Amino acid sequence: MMPLLATSAGAETASQVFKQDAPSVVVVLTYTAAGKLTELGSGVKLPDGTVATNCHVLKDGTRYGVRYEGKDYHAQLDKADWNRDVCSLSVPGLPAPPVTLGSTRTLQVGASVYAIGTPEGLQRTLSQGIVSSLRPVGGGSYIQTTAAISPGSSGGGLFDDHGRLLGLTSFFISKGQQLNFALPVEWIEALPQHTMPRVAPGANEVEWLNRVASFESAKDWQGLQVFAEHLIKVQPHSEIGWFALGESNAHLGHYVQAIVADRQALQINPQDADAWNNLGSAYDSAGQYAQAIDADRQALRINPRYAKAWSNLGVAYQDTGQFARAIDAERQALRINPQDVVAWNNLGAAYQGAGQFARAIDAERQALRINPRNAKAWNNLGAASAHAGQFAQAIDAFRQALRINPQSSTEWFYLGLVYSMAGQQDQALAVYQHLKTIDPAKAQKLFDRIVPK
């Protein structure tokens, strides 16, 4: 059994991160010219003495302030990149200590992170979570995290387990679960050389990223396709647009179009490991396995610890009958993320292809230990058990899969086939009768297999 992910050396506890970094987090106040408070957000004291926050916290005001330890300080807009939603404020006399800057370039999915903000202007709050997704953007990565973000937390800090600033918490999808996002610290560092004027609503890079995230969370691939096509029409060189178009087409089964879009995204940014990974998946789905292997290797050249790319490489190897290489690739994925159900499934399938049925059974049981309601793992377990001559276990596995997905004609087909292999012909014929109501063509195929000519 693979070891669990170890905590990084020297990592701090949540309370230690809060004690270290909470004093650097402030309340940002936005006022009209008449002195009316229009917006309340969060900010983080930087090493250069300024306070970083989201530009959208400041957009409806002309005067600004910072509240720290119950005292208000006058603030002035220092620098602004409205396209990336990163602004800084000059706050004379602010006694808050500065944060230590980290990096998203080496950040990994699954890493522990901590969000500290001042929602509704109340005392600083801490939420703990992990990095659930990373999207390469402009020198860093846009972070999706399970660490909760509340209204008023915009402009607060997201910190790693050493207390280093990874970015500014900026957006959350209230109808989703654990869908929270942070801008990369690299955008804060680039602010002096990357100031941008205000843009029209809906026309900045962060809003595009957030729209894409909203469609992804709803699995609205048709909506994402329409949005991506519109974005490309108004911004032909938008990597975000081409990436989203490739992703949506892949989910809609339009693999040739996905390949074209992914390649366009990579012409704009050849170092986007996610785009290479998506390109590899599209090539594999289109049956172009050599190209899939090359694309997955490109993703791993950029990020050798990209677990999903290792797993996709394993699938491509498996599709070409290279089972030893497939097994090695899936085990590489699982060394990085031992809790990856998909990789355990793929490893089981690779072992099964190599005729190593006992190991295939063990891999599928590992997947089911993590997620007992994974129908694919139950199906694969049933197939491996049948190949190993363990018919009772195979029947039970296929029945477990059908409890999760009762209308799956594939599981019914294999259940009937295993009943026949086990000599339980009456049960096999009963499955055939039921399968006729779901998929008559597959039912006939089962009948031809279980009834002697």
296 found inside a domain: no
> By C-alpha distance, which of 358, 366, 425 is closest to 385?
358
Helix (H, G, I), strand (E, B) or coil at 51: strand
125 found inside a domain: yes
374 found inside a domain: yes
Which token pair is 452? 């002697």
Query: Domain limits at 187?
Result: 101-193
What's residue 323's pLDDT? Answer: 98
Q: Which of 193, 210, 242 is the last residue of a domain?
A: 193
CATH code for the domain of 359: 1.25.40.10
How would residue 152 be classed by pLDDT, with cut points 50, 70 and 90?
A: confident
Beta pairing class for 71-81 and 63-68: antiparallel
What's residue 201's pLDDT? Answer: 66
Residue 161, pLDDT above cutoff 90:
yes
Residue 63, pLDDT above cutoff 70:
yes
Q: CB of 208 within 8 A of CB of 239?
A: no
Name the burial class of residue 233, with classes exposed (0-12), middle (13-18) and buried (19+) by CB atoms within 10 angstroms of its CB. exposed
122 found inside a domain: yes
Question: Using CA atoms, how far apart are residues 417 and 412, in angstroms rounded to an integer?
Answer: 9
What's residue 285's pLDDT? Answer: 97
What's residue 179's pLDDT? Answer: 80
Question: Using CA atoms, how far apart are residues 433 and 439, in angstroms rounded to an integer?
Answer: 10
Which token pair is 140? 């860093």
442 found inside a domain: yes
Q: How open is the CA angle 94-95-96, to the nearest 5 degrees? A: 95
> By C-alpha distance, which of 384, 404, 401, 394 is closest to 428?
394
Q: Computed over its alpha carbons, how large is the radius of gyration of the chain?
A: 26
Helix (H, G, I), strand (E, B) or coil at 16: helix
Mean pLDDT of 179-202: 85
Give residues with Cβ within 8 angstroms of 252, minimum separation 6. 221, 222, 225
Q: How open is the CA angle 28-30-35, to the nearest 5 degrees? A: 135
pLDDT digits (tens, 9 = 90+) for 307-357: 999 999 999 999 999 999 999 999 999 999 899 999 999 999 999 999 999
> For the chain, how far is it from start to end, CA to CA, in angstroms?
46
How would residue 178 be classed by pLDDT, with cut points 50, 70 and 90?
A: low
Helix (H, G, I), strand (E, B) or coil at 26: strand
Q: Which of 193, 219, 243 is the last residue of a domain?
A: 193
SS3 track for 124-176 = CEEEEEEEEEEEEECCEEEEEECCCCCCCCCCEEEECCCCEEEEEEEEECCCC
Beta pairing class for 156-159 and 51-54: unpaired
CB atoms within 10 A of CB 429: 17
CATH code for the domain of 184: 2.40.10.10
172 found inside a domain: yes
Which token pair is 43? 């900010």
What's residue 120's pLDDT? Answer: 67
Number of domains in the chain: 2
Q: CB of 212 within 8 A of CB of 242?
A: no
Task: Give strand pairing partners of 29.
Answer: 40, 65
Say which residue the tokens 């010219």 belong to.
Answer: 33
Helix (H, G, I), strand (E, B) or coil at 116: strand
Q: CB of 402 within 8 A of CB of 427?
A: no
How would residue 6 be classed by pLDDT, with cut points 50, 70 and 90?
A: very low
Helix (H, G, I), strand (E, B) or coil at 67: strand
Share of the chain above pLDDT 70, in %: 94
Q: Exposure string (b/e) for 191-200, b if CB count within 10 Å is 16 or more?
A: beebbbeeee
How would residue 7 be classed by pLDDT, with cut points 50, 70 and 90?
A: very low
pLDDT digits (tens, 9 = 90+) for 262-278: 999 999 999 899 999 99
Cα dihedral 237, 239, 244, 246, rounded to 10, equals 80
Q: Exposure string (b/e) for 257-281, b if CB count within 10 Å is 16 or more?
A: bbbebbebbbebbeebbbbbbbbbb
Q: Which of 193, 215, 240 is the last residue of a domain?
A: 193
pLDDT digits (tens, 9 = 90+) for 389-407: 999 999 999 999 999 999 9
Q: CB of 251 within 8 A of CB of 282?
A: no
132 found inside a domain: yes
Helices H, strands E: what count in the chain?
Answer: 18, 13
How would residue 3 be classed by pLDDT, with cut points 50, 70 and 90?
A: very low
Lowest mean pLDDT among 8-12, 168-172, 245-249: 8-12
Say which residue the tokens 């090539």 belong to.
Answer: 283
Which token pair is 370? 């993590």
Q: CB of 339 within 8 A of CB of 345?
A: no
10 found inside a domain: no
Which token pair is 170? 């900026």
Which token pair is 173? 């999808």
